[in-house]
């Protein structure tokens, strides 16, 4: 119920206008978002590097409304790749196709993605195409396989979501074409016609896809904070002689830092997804939807602030 409310709120841009300059909302955002500029994001990347963790930078911003906005978002990503290269930062980037104009025109989106991917190729870097809601799944995978991956096989990869019924078939396809996959559970509100409504089914699908990717995939990213699944990944790797440099664990900025450090200490690879930018509201709502404790954290801060004001 609460999950549905936050996923609904994630789509309400009017509310974002209202909370955009709210101090409390911003301080909560700081926990999950690495500031609003590329400089604050690179500072976060440097701190991760000190913990031997790599990063994937995500400039927050979902659907754009016109060609100029899409081009600007594309140029921003090219500039981010330049900055990563200049600073020798240990980071790649994550991109949403709707932010690159997918809803305006597929050709526009492809033109922008080629500019980003050319720069990534020049630097030997990597661009992960985030997966959005299920209305975009087929279009994203088609565009990836037909129009981006053939030209930049080493520099671009996709994300697959285990909550979708189709996930395993998509994993098999990715393995066949040797594409790099990040596997996650999926963060959007989906109808029961396309996605498992129950967590146990989402988790079972995740484990099935993960085993297949670990055995046959191209350097999969195991993106989860779920300790049971992480324990299973470690067990499965040992049982099948899969070395820790053949895959990486991935987590979100600000989530389970203890577990991130523990995995590093144990000799595993860890990449943290580092979102930044002014458009943090939908991202934050999805994080609230994932974990009721985050809501308690937010309301706890609100309460402390109210008490503080009364005392002043």
Ligand X SMILES: Cc1cc2nc3c(=O)[nH]c(=O)nc-3n(C[C@H](O)[C@H](O)[C@H](O)COP(=O)(O)OP(=O)(O)OC[C@H]3O[C@@H](n4cnc5c(N)ncnc54)[C@H](O)[C@@H]3O)c2cc1C
Question: Any idea which residues carry the catalytic annotation?
Answer: 130, 182
In what helix (H) or strand (E) does residue 116 lie, and over which residues does it extend?
A: helix 106-123
Q: CA angle 31-205-137, nearest 5°?
A: 70
Site for ligand X contains 92 (CB under 6 A): no
Q: Which stretches of 202-294 are assigned E, i.e. beta strand?
A: 221-223, 248-252, 270-276
Residue that is written with structure tokens 């870097």 in the block: 125
Least distance CB 189 / ligand X (angstroms) = 11
Taking CB under 6 A as the criterion, the residue among 3, 85, 189, 225 binding ligand X is: 225
Contact string 251-290 vs ligand X (x = CB under 6 A): xx--xx----------------x-------------x--x
Least distance CB 39 / ligand X (angstroms) = 22
Query: Which residue stretch of 19-27, 180-188, 276-284, 300-308 sits at the interface with ligand X (rule: CB under 6 A)?
Result: 180-188
Least distance CB 99 / ligand X (angstroms) = 12
Site for ligand X contains 185 (CB under 6 A): yes
Taking CB under 6 A as the criterion, the residue among 187, 209, 230, 285 binding ligand X is: 187
Backbone angles phi, psi at 153, to 5 degrees: -60, -30
- C-alpha 215, offset from chain centre: 23
Q: What is the total count of residues that contact ligand X (CB under 6 A)?
A: 23
Site for ligand X contains 130 (CB under 6 A): yes
Least distance CB 312 / ligand X (angstroms) = 31
152 vs 115: CA distance, rounded Å:
11
In what helix (H) or strand (E) does residue 137 lie, and over which residues does it extend?
A: helix 137-143
Taking CB under 6 A as the criterion, the residue among 184, 209, 230, 263 binding ligand X is: 184
Taking CB under 6 A as the criterion, the residue among 155, 250, 260, 279 binding ligand X is: 250
Which residue's CB is nearer to ligand X, number 62 or number 82? Answer: 62
Closest by CA to 284, choosing from 23, 60, 97, 43, is: 60
Dmax over CA atoms of the chain, in Å, equals 64
113 vs 226: CA distance, rounded Å:
32
Site for ligand X contains 294 (CB under 6 A): yes
205 vs 187: CA distance, rounded Å:
15
Closest by CA to 96, choosing from 126, 43, 132, is: 132
Contact string 10-39 vs ligand X (x = CB under 6 A): ------------------------------
Would you say 180 and 158 are in contact if contact means Cβ atoms under 8 Å apart? yes
Site for ligand X contains 291 (CB under 6 A): yes
Site for ligand X contains 6 (CB under 6 A): no
Which residue's CB is nearer to ligand X, number 83 or number 291? Answer: 291
In what helix (H) or strand (E) does residue 91 lie, and over which residues does it extend?
A: strand 91-95
Q: Which residues bind ligand X (CB under 6 A)?
A: 130-131, 159, 161, 184-188, 223-226, 250-252, 255-256, 273, 287, 290-291, 294
């Amino acid at each position: 119920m609460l999950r549905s409310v936050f996923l609904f709120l994630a789509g309400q841009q009017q509310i974002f206008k209202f909370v955009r300059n709210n101090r409390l909302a911003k301080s909560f955002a700081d926990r999950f978002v690495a500031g609003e500029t590329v400089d604050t994001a690179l500072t976060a990347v440097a701190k991760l590097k000190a913990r031997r963790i790599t990063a994937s930078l995500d400039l927050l911003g979902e659907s754009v409304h016109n060609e100029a906005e899409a081009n600007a978002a594309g140029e921003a990503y090219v500039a981010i790749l330049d900055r990563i290269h200049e600073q020798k930062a240990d980071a790649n980037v994550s991109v949403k196709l709707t932010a690159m104009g997918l809803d305006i025109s597929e050709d526009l989106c492809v033109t922008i993605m080629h500019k980003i991917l050319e720069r990534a190729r020049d630097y030997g870097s990597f661009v992960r195409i985030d997966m959005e809601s299920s209305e975009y799944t087929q279009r994203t995978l088609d565009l990836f396989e037909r129009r981006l991956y053939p030209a930049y096989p080493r520099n671009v990869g996709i994300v697959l979501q285990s909550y979708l019924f189709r996930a395993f078939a998509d994993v098999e396809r990715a393995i066949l074409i040797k594409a790099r996959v990040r596997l996650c559970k999926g963060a959007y509100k989906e109808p029961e016609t396309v996605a498992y409504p129950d967590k146990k089914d989402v988790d079972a699908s995740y484990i099935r896809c993960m085993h297949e990717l670990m055995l046959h995939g191209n350097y999969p990213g195991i993106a989860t904070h779920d300790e049971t699944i992480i324990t299973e990944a470690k067990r499965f790797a040992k049982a099948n002689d899969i070395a820790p440099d053949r895959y990486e664990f991935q987590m979100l900025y600000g989530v389970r830092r203890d577990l991130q450090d523990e995995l590093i200490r144990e000799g595993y690879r860890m990449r943290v997804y580092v979102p930044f930018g002014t458009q943090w509201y939908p991202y934050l709502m999805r994080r609230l939807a994932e974990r009721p404790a985050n809501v308690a954290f937010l309301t706890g801060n609100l309460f402390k602030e109210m008490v503080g004001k009364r005392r002043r």
